Copies of this chain bind each other. A is one copy, B any other.
Amino acid sequence: MSSQYTLENEVFAGLVFYGSLALIKTVMMSMLTAYFRIRNESVPTLEDAKMMAPNDPDKQKVLLQPNQDVERVRRAHLNDLENVIPFVLLGLLFVGTNPDPTTALWHFRIFLAARVLHSIAYVNALRQPLRGIGFGIGLFAFCSMAFQTVHALC
């Protein structure tokens, strides 16, 4: 059996494309957190506060207060770590089972779309169950892919 892990295999090419976009989306939450920290003047450590307000201990104390909007972005980020990372990693195992290309590609596309919806709904505090729908569809895509991967080995 030749390797599935070449760009000539459209399943692998699809994972490289959609998986990379999903990882970029996840890491962009880091940049969004940094942006919200600066805009809302809320930093995690004393050395950050000292850089932003040298010689002003009162201002430093204010800077160290947690901020609601920053914490919201951090929760959205953590949710990506909990869902996007396992999905892309499972995707690499899934490719090895030589799945049907059309099915596999739609798993990747639907997962990415669901997670983009999840992040937009979370960061902007959109009315529930919008965020829940994004989360649920992503989880469903993961479970479906997981079932197929384990099933291919049984």
> CB within 8 Å of B: which residues of A?
1-8, 12-13, 15-17, 19-21, 23-24, 26-27, 29-31, 44-48, 50-51, 72, 75, 77, 81-83, 85-86, 88-90, 92-93, 96-98, 122, 125-129, 131, 139, 142-143, 146, 149-150, 152-153
Interface of A, secondary structure class, is helix
* Contact A47 to B127, CB < 8 A, known contacts A5-B3, A16-B97: yes
A76 CB to closest chain B CB, in angstroms?
A: 10
**Which are the 3 A-B pairs with shortest beta-carbon distances?**
A3-B3, A51-B128, A17-B153
Q: Assuming A2-B3, A7-B152, A26-B86, what are 17 further A-B pairs, CB within 8 angstroms?
A: A1-B8, A3-B5, A4-B5, A7-B96, A16-B96, A16-B149, A19-B89, A20-B90, A20-B150, A27-B139, A27-B143, A44-B75, A47-B125, A47-B131, A85-B86, A88-B89, A88-B93
Q: Are A46 and B97 in contact (CB under 8 A)?
A: no
Report how far A108 CA is from B26 CA in the complex, Å.
20
CA of A30 to CA of B138 in the docked complex: distance in angstroms? 12
Counting every copy of the chain, the complex holds 3
Complex CA–CA separation, A24 to B139 (angstroms): 10
* Chain B residue, CB-CB nearest to A43: B128
Bound-complex Cα distance A92 to B146 (A)? 17
Q: Are A12 and B96 touching (Cβ within 8 A)?
A: yes
Residue numbers in B under 8 Å from A146 (CB-CB): 20, 23-24, 27
